[in-house]
Structure 1
């Protein structure tokens, strides 16, 4: 299975080993497909091809396995299978390291909408807070058995390069291949100076190089230490997902990993029928209906905003608890001495000559200055408490003295 790079939490350096020094990787143990494959028109006219296809589908084989069986049995059919856009996701046992997981997913989240028991919508949680990690993507051109060219960005993210595998090295005699440690090396492609420029790329113009991406996630309730992946080639699906990731990250302080709120709300992946615009072979704009992957975040946005307020409240309450538990006398600003817990209030009389009496409470409610004085007694400066109160309730500085009702 393929792997994806993820960032470490914390700043500890990764120790160097003989296998290299690099970030941690999350292995994937299964693949959910966005669509399905059916027999091409030529293959559908062949009775043997139809029999092989139906047997493979009934046995739960992957489409790669079915296609390989068709190519072996009918080598004259160059393209036996073609992709088909459908409103459900395809989950097959042979696409998982443990085939039983496919059945677990279908039993837990599958439903029958008239086309059999299918997977139309399912919950997911992402393992990283960086959308580039949970949705890696690239421009790639594939050959018969391997990836020929692919795009990579420079470390500063400014230049997109076109990469390829380095030639296999030979020894001085030119007859013996040199063993390469750590796998084949990669180099910049000679064409276009190693720059990925789709408009000047013959492979891209001939539709041999295409955008390819995948979502990496865990499914709540499905026990697996390995993540699952869902591939897509839809620019619209990936672009819409990026917008959702960035919005949720903004509301959650940069976090998109894990559940979205205290109610354990996950993301959901489903499919939506939309009209996709494209340019036809004659250069004219056209629109065609397609089922594309949709990332859902069914969460109450106001709850996410309230969670951020509660974080601020926790900071203030933690400081107050620390002052109460520690018990020492706290010196307030302007020379005022504030009594520690258990100390008589008389000893907290003002010691500076210019310190006047506190404003009296109105109707039993604390005044604004009284609130700020109490915050100061707990070691919280005026600006910090005012910023917290403005965020939690209303602007204190816009209220008249004595308007602090409900804040104490």
Structure 2
């Protein structure tokens, strides 16, 4: 049975064997963050704007670069009757505030490097980003979530097979046998399926919180900014279905052209993605069920790259290294049947049959170190992998253009090589990846 942490969310460039599990490494890998860029601003409600004290606190907080959470907290402390004194406002720029970064100097660096003055002061309208993973689910995590004042109350999560979406919540803190003292927890609070919500299923149309607008789609982009020094990624939150859906299409298009890669710079000219905003007519259903269209500034992911350059062969070092490695393996006649561990007689016989089948699909040898699609599919079948499952997995991992891109085919062949001694392990990996992809699409 495969270990639950055998396939981390974050792709490590260059591949290699997965790291051994550790006491603190059992969960899926996450991208650490160290600062927020916000999609808009918050302004005083009509009621709060009528309070001179609230107006003064708001203006002082904005001038001092405080976060809107800090400003709102200061207003509610001074005027307890104002429960929600601030509301979001859609604007064409991004908000960069010193208090949203552990190192406040980073906010100034970002505005100095990429800010523009379009007549309303220096603002951040458009800025370059580089993503740290080839999985869009890792660089744009998202979920349905209901938040309270200080923590998340409920959130969506898919089952291990990616077929059922559950409503999750925090589990009650356990107590000892006396019932008077809580048990000290290792690793933080535990989670559980919410029992009082239709058997724990996440069904927005029948969910009380979703219908009352307490539960909403929420997501964030995780990225680095060229020229801004930080070991942690930055994040940009969004609740826009349109922004996230359009970004997924851009990610998949770029992955199609780059053999599955969306991380790093896009080409040899060090072209990054860009995040900006675009004014769009967005469909909106009012309380009477009427479809309305309202203009909104929506986050837009740009990839200003020469598409033909992405399709050229042998344009980057990684492709050359992979091809050299494959050519060396062919010249040396490396055997996929070699095994470092002794086998039981039944397992040895099965492994020998598998090795014979794999060897048969390796003749004729690879042309110039580049596998053909037929060789790849035949070898996958020899591992016991159904062609349609391998095709679905490869499309997700390297983009749908992997079949016509020598770089993509080389990476696929290299991965098959690594699992030559463990076909069942590779089949388990493929099934796990497809379940993860299915869960990400439906979130």
* Alignment TM-score, normalising by the size of structure 1: 0.76
How many residues align structurally?
335
The worse-fitting range, judged by mean Cα deviation, of 11-20 and 51-60 is 11-20
> 1:6 and 2:15 equivalent?
no
The runs of at least 4 aligned residues of structure 1 exceeding 2 Å deviation read 4-26, 307-319, 378-384
Tell me, in whole angstroms, the C-alpha distance in 1 between the residues paired with 2:206 and 2:370.
61
Tell me, in whole angstroms, the C-alpha distance in 1 between the residues paired with 2:286 and 2:103.
42
Structure (1/2) with the larger helix percentage:
2
Please list the CA deviations of residues 31-53 of structure 1 after superposition, one character each: whole Å capped at 9, or x if unmatched.
00000001111110000001000
1:6-405 to 2 correspondences below 5 Å: 6-9=10-13, 10-190=15-195, 191-307=197-313
Report if aligned partners of 1:7, 1:23 keep a CA contact under 8 Å in 2: no
Per the alignment, do residues 316 and 105 of structure 1 end up closer, same or farther by CA in structure 2, a change over 3 Å counting?
closer
Please list the CA deviations of residues 256-314 of structure 1 after superposition, one character each: whole Å capped at 9, or x if unmatched.
00000000000000000001002110001000000010000000111111146889995
Per the alignment, do residues 235 and 310 of structure 1 end up closer, same or farther by CA in structure 2, a change over 3 Å counting?
same
Q: CA deviation at 1:216?
A: 0.1
Report if aligned partners of 2:268, 2:316 keep a CA contact under 8 Å in 1: no
Query: Mind listing any 5+ residue stretches in structure 2 that lack a counterpart?
Result: 1-7, 332-363, 376-403, 407-443
Backbone CA RMSD of aligned residues: 3.2
Please list the CA deviations of residues 83-132 of structure 1 after superposition, one character each: whole Å capped at 9, or x if unmatched.
00000000000000100000000000000111110000000000000000
Q: CA deviation at 1:158?
A: 1.6
Tell me, in whole angstroms, the C-alpha distance in 2 between the residues paired with 1:313 and 1:220.
24
Q: CA deviation at 1:27?
A: 1.4
Query: Mind listing any 5+ residue stretches in structure 1 that lack a counterpart?
Result: 327-375, 393-408
Report if aligned partners of 1:14, 1:22 keep a CA contact under 8 Å in 2: no
Q: CA deviation at 1:26?
A: 2.4
Per the alignment, do residues 313 and 282 of structure 1 end up closer, same or farther by CA in structure 2, a change over 3 Å counting?
closer
Tell me, in whole angstroms, the C-alpha distance in 2 between the residues paired with 1:179 and 1:383.
55
SS of match in other structure, 1:214: strand
Per the alignment, do residues 263 and 8 of structure 1 end up closer, same or farther by CA in structure 2, a change over 3 Å counting?
closer
Per the alignment, do residues 33 and 173 of structure 1 end up closer, same or farther by CA in structure 2, a change over 3 Å counting?
same
Equivalent position of 1:349 in the other structure: none
Higher RCO (CA-CA < 8 Å; seq separation 6+): 2
Report if aligned partners of 1:61, 1:94 keep a CA contact under 8 Å in 2: yes
Please list the CA deviations of residues 151-182 of structure 1 after superposition, one character each: whole Å capped at 9, or x if unmatched.
01122222111100001212222222121111
Report if aligned partners of 2:43, 2:87 keep a CA contact under 8 Å in 1: yes
SS of match in other structure, 2:32: strand
Tell me, in whole angstroms, the C-alpha distance in 2 between the residues paired with 1:228 and 1:64.
18
SS of match in other structure, 1:25: coil
* Alignment TM-score, normalising by the size of structure 2: 0.70
SS of match in other structure, 1:15: coil
Structure (1/2) with the larger strand percentage:
1
